Every structure is written in structure tokens, then in C-alpha cells.
A = this chain, B = another copy of it.
Amino acid sequence: MEQEEGVITRNFVVIGHRASTTGDFNLNDLAGGAGRLDVLLRCITSALLISNGIRKDTDIYLVLQGGNDPPKTLRIEGYSVRYLNPDERSTGALVRNALMKELEEGEEVRSTPGIYASGRDFRTLIEELARKSKIYYLKEDGEDIRAAAGQLDRDTPMTFVLGDDKDLTEKEENAVLRHLQHKPSILSLGRTPLHSDHCITIVHNELDRVL
């Protein structure tokens, strides 16, 4: 994971509970046949795109658990991603290409520049990220991120974990909670329940203001 000197990396992990894990879905049916892949595509855009640019300090991981070949994890790296546009359809085409790649055991395979696929499951991914970043879990009953933002560890890369249109299952939540010995670590974004991509936008805005 390359990064610029002195810039703290921001990672987002989004679970696609029934998102397609093969590339045989129709780009005209991203919300239906592709298992709410539309939610994840909007998360990519919120995580990585700003006006006329890309957040080079940010990576997003999509853990896809639906379809015929689960689990798969896609990593889209802001530092090196190319051909990324803000619309859902073209982002869907990039993801489809990545899901068509043949995977290698225990390795990330590059699809297009900055887009990588692997067979990692959620628990393995979180363990890996916990070794090199602090994990933060976005949850409605967590501590208000605005009150907590000043207390975040600014010297360590940060990983924010959230669900798609479904909350984390108990098992998924347990895989996260064991890495939350630090405080604050369970964060909420206010009282209004929001879509995942909107949550990512707000996390970035908070971090932009304190980092």
C-alpha cells in the first residue's frame, strides 16, 4: 500500500452481504441481479472521488458475499486507481472486470490499475488491517464522530468498517469488536440513519477537518 509521505491512510471496508462475486451480472440491473452492488459502487465514489480529483490517501475494500463464488474482496486504491468516473455504470464495469479475473490462492490479483481482487473473507481482511491500522466501527449507537474526531489517533492509518444496506451480522460484528481495544472506536454520524455512501462522505468531511 503506497502512500504519500506524512499522509495518514484512510481505509473503508464495506460488506456487500448479497453482492455478486462473479462478473456475469447485467450493468442495467446493478441494484437487482447484482445483489445491491449499486450500494457498493456509490461507496467507491464517496470514498475516492473529490471534485476534479482522487483521494490518493484512501483505499476502499469491498467484501462481496453473494452470488456463486463468495467470498471475494476487492481493493480499490486511491493512490493508483485509473479510469474511475463518478457514475454507477462505469464503476460497475470496472468491478465486473475485476470479478472476471482468475484468483490465485492467498494473493491479490490486479484487474485494472488500482483495482485488486482476492478471495479473502471479512474476518481475514479485518485481521490484516488491524495489524497495520486502527479499526473504527461505524454504528448508529456509537460515540458521535464529531465529539470523537479530535481524539482519533492521528499517527496511525485508520480503517472504517460498515455494512451495505444491511447491518453487520453478529458474527461479522464479533470479528470487528475483538480489534477495538482503543477508544473511541465505535462511531456514529448523528441521529439520522444514513445510506453507506453518505456515511463515508461524512467521515471524510470530519477527517478533512481534523487531519
Contact = CB atoms under 8 A, between A and B. Distances in A.
A181 interface: no
Interface residues of A, number: 36
A31 interface: yes
B50 A86 contact: no
Contact of A30 (B89, B191, B194, B195): B89
B209 A190 contact: yes
A87 interface: yes
Most B CB within 10 A of own CB, among A49, A51, A53, A146: A51
A195 B42 contact: no
A8 interface: no
A28 interface: yes
Interface string A25-56: 00110110000001100100110011111000
A137 to B, nearest CB: 17
Contacts of A113: none
B202 A190 contact: no
7 contacts: A31-B90, A42-B42, A45-B195, A88-B88, A189-B205, A191-B208, A192-B205
